[in-house]
Each structure stands twice: as C-alpha cells, then as structure tokens.
Amino acid sequence: MPRHLLRALSIASVLALLGLASAQEVVNVYSARHYDSDQTLFDLFTEQTGIQVNLIEAGADELIERIRSEGANSPADVIVTVDAGRLWRADEAGLLASIDSDALEAAIPANLRHPDGRWFGLSLRARGLVYSVDRVDPSELSTYEDLAGDAWRDRVCIRSSTNIYNISLTASVIASAGVDAAQAWANGLARNFARNPQGGDTDQIRAVAAGECDVAVVNHYYLARLIASSDAGDQAVARAVGWFFPNQDDRGTHVNVSGAGVVATAPNPANAIRFLEFLATPEAQTIFASANHEYPALEGVAVSEAAQGFGTFRSDAVNVAAYGEHSAEALRVMDRANWP
C-alpha cells in the first residue's frame, strides 16, 4: 500500500480513537481513601452505568489544595475523604457544590450529611475505648468524660492533639456540652496520660496489650483489622484487649464518617451525582464499608464479621458537620490542656 495511504489511515485511526474517548462518559474522582476494594466499587459502577472512573489518590489536605490551585480548570468531579472535619475544610474553601438528590437524602441520615447537601457521609467510624482484659473490668468504663477522673491517672493512651480524629472528638464534646465542659474534660484527660501521645491508633492498642496503659481511645476498625489479621502477633494483641462503646446512657458514642462531595467546578456534575448515589446503594455500601471494617451509613447493611463482634451501639446524633465548625476551638482547648 502506498505510504501516503498508510499515513492517512493512521491519522484516521487516531481521530476515530479520539472521537471514542471524547464520547466516553467519565467521572473524575479525587480520593483520600486507599483501599484496593474501592477499585471493585469503581469497576461495578462502570459496569452498571457505562461511566468510566478516573482516579487520583492522595492525602485529603493535598487533594483539597490541588483542587483549589486548579481552580475553574480542575478536572475533579468528586472528592472522597475521611473525617467530617476534612469535608468541612473542603466546603469552607468553596470547593463543594450543593446538590439535590432524593436518593441520597433517603439513604443517608440527616446527621451524617451536610445540611445543604454539599457532602454526604458514606461509612461510619466509631471512636471508642480499647481496654486491657487483665487489668480493667468493663464495668469500670462508662464515658469519655469519666476518663478525666482520678481513677484513670497514668492509665490512658491516645494519639496527639493534632490528629484529626481527636480534633473531631473534642469538637463533638464542645458541640454537646460547651467549651467549658470540653476544657475540663481535656485538662483531666491530659493529666491521666500514661505516656506522651505517639503513633497511630494501632500503636495505642498495642500499648494497652503491652501493659503501657490500661485503656486507649481509638477508632473501632483498627481493632477489627487486628482481629481479622492472619498474623499471629496481631491476633495475640487482639486477644489481650476488649472493646467498649462509651456514653451509651447519654449522648451515644462519637462517630465520624468517610464521605464525598461533588466539586463545584465539576466538568461532569450529573455523572458525579450518579456516582454518589451509587455509593449509597446497599450493594455498594457493603463493599465500601467492609473494606475497612467500617459501619455502613445506610441502615440494614451487614457489617464485617470482626465489627459484628463488637455488638450494637447507640451513636451520637449530633450532625457531624459540627466537628469542622468547632475544630479551631477544639485545637485551642487541647492546647490549653497541654495535650501534646
């Protein structure tokens, strides 16, 4: 075949491929969740809708800054992150659109979503207590506030005050009881630390098992991971501790969320809304939550076997948006308490 005809055919082929690419429906997802099973979700969404998921992964703060710097030209349609405090940061930066979706409003309880539909919680993280089964009788445990009492002097482990989980926990105390009560709690809790805060939630659990402290404040799924682990050392740690849901006789256990919102400058807003609605379906919720042993936001969806072992609990009904609203004051409270 003459060379000029071959060249013409090649150009035609490229143009045809470009035409197919431009015709392909897409949704561009910026995600701070780093779980392999999330790809299963994306593949299922594409299978059901024909919409291709393009994924960018990074830390939440990095993604927020990236969308901000990209401005009106950002390709981002959806941002997925963990902790309502980070969703609040994205909203405060003007990055999220208010959307109207009957499906999302029906599926996601009001206290787990932004009041104006700018983000929606999709899975729950209970921040409770891990205790030594050898040194603590669970009857000694009751509330977060009780951990500030003299009975727990030099017995408590927890992460640093700059950790977003603790910022949100303290913000929830402010939302429920006010700044003065939160300050008194933080002051007493900091006096009761068995060691300076260090490491992540798994490190706190290991510290309890090793006898460095008697009780630790952690998110439930860190213990669930150890329970489900095939590693003998992890299993030994899990056997050495128990789980307790605090504040069951008053406001309920503090919960946070993994959640998502539609970016205000989304080039594919309809696909973005469809993607969020998919994540709130029973099928997707099972995959979304089970990847990390989280609790589904949609009622009636089964939890992982490890999480089932913790039993049922009553969660704090405060709107999780309050965590972001009170985050700056929460940091000041912990700083005044000399919480490292």
pLDDT for the residue numbered 45:
97
Residue 168 CA to residue 85 CA, distance in Å, equals: 6
Confidence class for position 11, pLDDT limits 50, 70, 90? very low
Q: Helix, strand, or coil here: 247?
A: coil
pLDDT for the residue numbered 21:
42
**Is the per-residue pLDDT at 282 higher than 60?**
yes
Confidence class for position 23, pLDDT limits 50, 70, 90? low
Strands (E), the chain: 26-31, 52-57, 78-82, 120-132, 156-157, 215-219, 241-244, 255-262, 295-296
Paired tokens of 279: 């994540």
Average pLDDT over residues 37-65: 96
Q: Would you give the DSSP letter of residue 147?
A: G
Neighbour-count burial for 187-210, b at 16+ CB within 10 Å, e otherwise: bbbbbbbbeebeeebbbbbbbbbe
Closest by Cα among 168, 93, 87 to 122: 87
**Is the per-residue pLDDT at 303 higher than 90?**
yes
Paired tokens of 332: 């000041």
Residue 62 CA to residue 45 CA, distance in Å, equals: 26
**Is the per-residue pLDDT at 3 higher than 70?**
no
Q: What is the pLDDT of residues 100-116, one digit of tens each?
A: 999 999 999 999 999 99
pLDDT for the residue numbered 17:
35
Q: What is the pLDDT of residues 322-340, one digit of tens each?
A: 999 999 999 999 999 999 9
**Is the per-residue pLDDT at 41 higher than 70?**
yes
Confidence class for position 166, pLDDT limits 50, 70, 90? very high
Confidence class for position 12, pLDDT limits 50, 70, 90? very low
Q: What is the mean pLDDT of the chain?
A: 93
Average pLDDT over residues 269-275: 98
User: Domains of the chain, with CATH numbers?
Assistant: 24-124+256-303 (3.40.190.10), 126-254+316-336 (3.40.190.10)
Residue 231's φ and ψ, nearest 5 degrees, are -80, 130
Residue 274 CA to residue 329 CA, distance in Å, equals: 36
**Is the per-residue pLDDT at 299 higher than 50?**
yes
